[in-house]
């Protein structure tokens, strides 16, 4: 990893964490553009000439092949410029037999007559207007030879196999330890298929200038999408420029890309004019990825005083028939609680369903819905407080690897959360608190999410006006990347935030991995810090070597940067004056970050604790979340406002996972039943009640030079389990088949 030199360590304002921009509740950098509707999303980008519009046609079966496809009426329709199917689409790079959805490789569109899932794209129509393209697409007639789809996940659990390259993890002897335990929990939980439901659908605007392609598209990973698109089109990577400057929500669903990107690019080349292609909302539900359903068996064995002696979490999940993606719902359990005998693992069932892939907090979001409820059940059996049970089983080091924790404040999260929430007023026996027809209950759960750092680069430039420009091929999917990069630049170079410009979301900028996996801020921010410190050092060296500068001859490491002024003691000058005199065309410095050589020596995670109060109407089965509090330890917080927004957004998603969210499969047709936001229920403001997130002071100096971690996925981890535990405390009902809908509560109440 890029290390901080002695000079940098002595003069690093970010490291010192002084009262500057870092950590403050700074408003969103791009907020005014978004609220005024002037931030152009991918489909809204104005191309250099009038565009044509593409509309895709989706398969109406889940498995089989196309035996005939009649496009004559569509081709003759008004305004139609081209109609493509597998019979006439231009040649593309071949699709690997199996591929990781996040590994660059060709992603050909309309590849063959084979149908692998309901909603697969089978044709595209491009016309002069969106209306004409939509009307023509409806005229295409497709005839299929249909196979009975394998679409009932729970009917095929026994078909599960170990994911490629994986094996079960066992420490000690779980079977023996569990058999000997005097207190046991052995239950099965089910979580449903979930859709990402981003506000902005996947969309692309593409045009060519000679052999060079420019695409504006909605993706989370710039360089990955650029490279894969180039391989699909069988052209040099450098001939593709991909931009994704504003993304209206990703959540993992835009971690890869889809047919809109490929077909818009191909059609633009064919027609010699810009082309726009977007998914409809219904196509988003089937044609993009989703979180797969799971079945999780959790077994806990404990002594009568509450110490875990055996712990197992085994998950069965599904993916598409050609995929390998696994919802690793058991992985987090390997790091959370101490137990000498442990067994965790996964089984994968390949189905004739749309492609499964990452969705916010893949693994933890699903897995905590079982283990953190099982811990609540165990606490009840033991007659212990759920918080105290978790604290009793707090490990001194990583329970599986034995590695020391880089920093771990989970116990502090739970203790401070309990105090702030009023946990001591909880009555352990269910159903004891009533307000009219509402039963009131309290629940809690722990939260954990891994911490990651990936390679990234950045560049900083200062111009003759003293303005700092940050350039990085990073993305902002609504998480605040623009803002935190501006804060790091302002703090490092000692300039007002208004004197910072941020350019991201462009494949021609220094590469960064993009947004996802909760690694974005730490990775992008660490590279930005390195670039900023390198520029700071270069500026200082120019100043002390410039006879015209008041700082001439001074030790460069003693120079301070603040409010656009560089100074030593009572000698100072404006940064802009120094640059104008010495580098009128601007001065640029690059930076990068790589994982440290010793990063593998530490067990590094983010942690939290959720506390929830719910009301349950025992007449209707309705559940209302009245209060939610999350306390989190996630490294140095770069921006209090955007971090809190990420955490509370995740907590609200946890409420949806517990109470409303899920998509059912019509097993006869292999289709998803909910195909729009009217039928797929996500929480709204009225569902939430009082909501707060507290972030503990923390700097993880083992994580990266700034001590940053991520928060984007931590907030959802454990939140749904806390809701489920509160429901039980309110009315004595355990529902292990999510979501916990009123009909399930009423059935359990009898």
- Note the pLDDT tens digit of each residue in 97-132: 876 656 788 999 999 999 999 999 999 999 999 999
For strand 456-462 and strand 587-593, is the pairing parallel, antiparallel, or unpaired? antiparallel
Q: Which of 228, 259, 287 is the last residue of a domain?
A: 287
Q: What is the pLDDT of residue 246?
A: 98
Host domain of residue 582: 6-39+454-594
Residue 159: DSSP 8-state: G
Are residues 34 and 49 both part of a single domain? no
Choose the final residue of a domain: 252, 272, 287. Answer: 287
CA 651, CA 692: separation in Å to the nearest integer? 9
Nearest-10 Cα torsion for 470, 474, 478, 484: -40
Helices (DSSP H) in 404-508: which residue ranges?
410-421, 481-493
How far apart are alpha carbons 477 and 677 in whole angstroms? 20
Clarify whether residues 118 and 24 are in a common domain. Answer: no
Residues 405, 435, single domain; the answer is: yes
- Specify whether 713 is located in the same domain as 743: yes
Q: Please indicate, yes or no, whether residues 620 and 683 belong to a single structural domain of this protein.
A: yes
Q: What's the Cα-to-Cα distance from 745 to each of 420, 617, 739, rounded to whole Å?
A: 29, 10, 11
Are 59 and 96 in the same domain? yes
Is residue 337 within 8 A of residue 718, CB to CB? The reply is no
Give the strand order in the sheet containing 80-84: 80-84, 121-127, 52-58, 275-278, 203-209, 212-217, 240-243
List Cβ neighbours of 210 (8 Å cut-off, separation of 6 or more): none
663 Rama class: left (phi>0) / alpha (psi -120 to 50) / beta: beta
Cα–Cα distance between 627 and 693 in angstroms, integer? 11
Same structural domain, 416 and 510: no
Of 224, 642, 745, residue with least CA distance to 474: 224
- Find, among 639, 482, 636, the residue nearest to 25 by Cα: 639
CB 52, CB 132: distance < 8 Å: no
Does 211 map to a domain? Answer: yes
Distance CA 82, CA 54 (A): 9
Residue 713 known to be catalytic? yes
In this structure, the answer to whether residues 520 and 630 fall within a common structural domain is no
How many whole angstroms separate alpha carbon 448 and alpha carbon 605?
7
Q: Cα torsion at 655, 659, 661, 665 (round to 10°)?
A: 150
pLDDT digits (tens, 9 = 90+) for 189-248: 999 999 999 999 999 999 999 999 999 999 999 999 999 999 999 999 999 999 999 999
CATH of the domain at 69: 3.30.365.10
CA distance 616 to 227: 51
Structural domain contains residue 333 = no
Residue 21 has a pLDDT of 86
pLDDT of residue 18: 47
Q: How many domains does the chain have?
A: 3
Q: What is the pLDDT of residue 8?
A: 46
Q: Pick the closest to residue 428 from 391, 390, 380 (CA basis).
A: 380
Cis peptide before 434 (omega within 30 of 0): no
DSSP 538-550: HHHHHHHH-TTST
Residue-level pLDDT at 17:
42
What is the C-alpha to C-alpha distance for residues 253 and 255, in angstroms, rounded to an integer?
6
pLDDT the model gives residue 13: 52
Q: Which residues of the chain have pLDDT under 50?
A: 1-10, 15-18
Query: For residue 369, is it within any domain?
Result: no
pLDDT of residue 563: 96
- Are 575 and 666 in the same domain? no
390, part of any domain: no
Taken as a whole, the chain contains a residue count of 750
Q: Of 210, 240, 202, 235, nearest to 222 (Cα)?
A: 240
Crossing angle of helices 640-659 and 719-731, in 10° steps, is 50
Same domain, 434 and 476: no
What's the confidence (pLDDT) of residue 14?
Answer: 53
Does one domain contain both 462 and 531?
Answer: yes
Instruction: Catalytic residue, from 259, 491, 592, 713: name it.
Output: 713
Q: Does residue 327 lie in a domain region?
A: no
Please tell me whether residues 411 and 542 are part of one structural domain. no
Q: What pLDDT, on the 0 to 100 scale, is given for residue 4? A: 42
Residue owning tokens 């000690």:
172
Domain end position, chosen among 538, 563, 594: 594
Q: What pLDDT does residue 102 have?
A: 62
In a domain, 589, yes or no: yes
In a domain, 246, yes or no: yes
């Amino acid at each position: 990893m890029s290390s901080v030199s002695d000079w940098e360590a002595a003069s690093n304002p970010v490291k010192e964490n002084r009262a500057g921009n870092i950590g403050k509740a700074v408003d969103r950098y791009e907020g005014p553009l978004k609220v005024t509707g002037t931030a152009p999303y991918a489909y809204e980008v104005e191309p250099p000439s009038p565009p044509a519009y593409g509309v895709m046609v989706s398969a109406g079966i889940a498995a089989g092949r196309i035996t005939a496809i009649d496009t004559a009426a569509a081709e003759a329709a008004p305004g139609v410029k081209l109609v493509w199917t597998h019979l006439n689409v231009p040649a593309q790079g071949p699709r690997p037999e199996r591929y990781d959805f996040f590994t660059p490789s060709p992603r050909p569109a309309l590849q063959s007559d084979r149908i692998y899932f309901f909603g697969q794209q089978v044709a595209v129509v491009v016309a002069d207007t969106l209306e004409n393209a939509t009307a023509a697409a409806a005229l295409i007639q497709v005839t299929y030879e249909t196979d009975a789809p394998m679409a009932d996940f729970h009917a095929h659990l026994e078909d599960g196999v170990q994911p490629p390259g994986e094996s079960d993890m066992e420490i000690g002897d779980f079977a023996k330890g569990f058999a000997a335990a005097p207190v046991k929990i052995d239950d099965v939980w089910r979580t449903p298929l979930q859709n990402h439901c981003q506000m902005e659908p996947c969309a692309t605007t593409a045009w060519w200038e000679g052999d060079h392609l420019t695409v504006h598209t909605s993706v989370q990973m710039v360089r990955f999408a650029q490279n894969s698109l180039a391989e699909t089109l069988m052209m040099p990577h450098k001939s593709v420029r991909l931009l994704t400057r504003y993304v209206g929500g990703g959540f993992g669903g835009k971690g890869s890309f889809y047919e809109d990107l490929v077909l818009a690019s191909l059609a633009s080349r064919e027609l010699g004019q810009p082309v726009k292609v977007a998914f409809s909302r219904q196509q988003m539900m089937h044609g993009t990825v989703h979180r797969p359903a799971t079945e999780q068996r959790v077994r806990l064995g404990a002594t009568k005083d509450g110490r875990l002696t055996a712990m197992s979490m085994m998950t069965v999940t599904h993916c598409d028939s050609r995929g390998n993606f696994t919802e690793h719902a058991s992985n987090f359990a390997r790091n959370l609680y101490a137990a000498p005998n442990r067994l965790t693992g996964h089984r994968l069932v390949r189905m004739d369903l749309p492609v499964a892939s990452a969705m916010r907090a893949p693994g933890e979001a699903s897995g905590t819905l079982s283990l953190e409820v099982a811990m609540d059940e165990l606490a009840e059996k033991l007659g212990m407080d759920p918080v105290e049970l978790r604290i009793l089983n707090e490990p001194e080091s990583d329970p599986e690897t034995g590695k020391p924790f880089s920093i771990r404040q989970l116990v502090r999260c739970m203790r401070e959360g309990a105090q702030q929430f009023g946990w001591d007023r909880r009555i352990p026996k269910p159903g004891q608190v009533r307000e009219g027809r509402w039963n009131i209950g309290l629940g809690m759960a722990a939260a954990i999410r891994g911490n990651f750092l990936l390679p990234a680069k950045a560049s900083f430039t200062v111009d003759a006006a003293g303005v700092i420009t940050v350039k990085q091929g990073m993305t902002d999917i609504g998480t605040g990347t623009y803002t935190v990069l501006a804060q790091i630049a302002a703090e490092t170079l000692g300039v007002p935030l208004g004197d910072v410009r941020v350019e991201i979301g462009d494949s021609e900028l220094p590469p960064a991995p993009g947004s996802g996996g909760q690694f974005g801020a730490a990775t992008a921010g660490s590279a930005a810090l390195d670039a900023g410190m390198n520029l700071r050092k270069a500026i200082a060296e120019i100043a002390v070597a410039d006879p015209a500068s008041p700082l001439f001859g001074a030790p460069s490491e003693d120079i301070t940067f603040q409010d656009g002024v560089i100074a030593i003691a009572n000698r100072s000058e404006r940064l802009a004056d120094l640059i104008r005199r010495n580098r009128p065309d601007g001065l640029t410095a690059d930076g990068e970050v790589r994982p440290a050589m010793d990063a593998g020596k530490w067990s590094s995670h983010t942690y939290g604790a959720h506390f929830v109060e719910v009301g349950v109407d025992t007449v209707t089965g309705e559940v209302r979340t009245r209060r939610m509090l999350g306390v989190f330890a996630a490294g140095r917080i770069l921006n209090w406002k955007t971090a809190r927004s990420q955490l509370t957004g995740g907590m609200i998603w946890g409420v949806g996972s517990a109470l409303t969210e899920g998509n059912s499969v019509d097993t006869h047709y292999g289709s998803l039943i909910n195909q729009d936001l009217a039928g797929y229920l996500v929480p709204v403001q009225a569902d939430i009640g009082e909501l707060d997130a507290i972030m503990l002071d923390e700097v993880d100096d083992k994580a990266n030079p700034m001590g940053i971690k991520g928060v984007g996925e931590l907030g959802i981890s454990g939140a749904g389990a806390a809701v489920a535990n509160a429901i039980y405390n309110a009315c004595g009902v355990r529902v292990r088949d999510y979501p916990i809908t009123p009909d399930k509560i009423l059935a359990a109440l009898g």
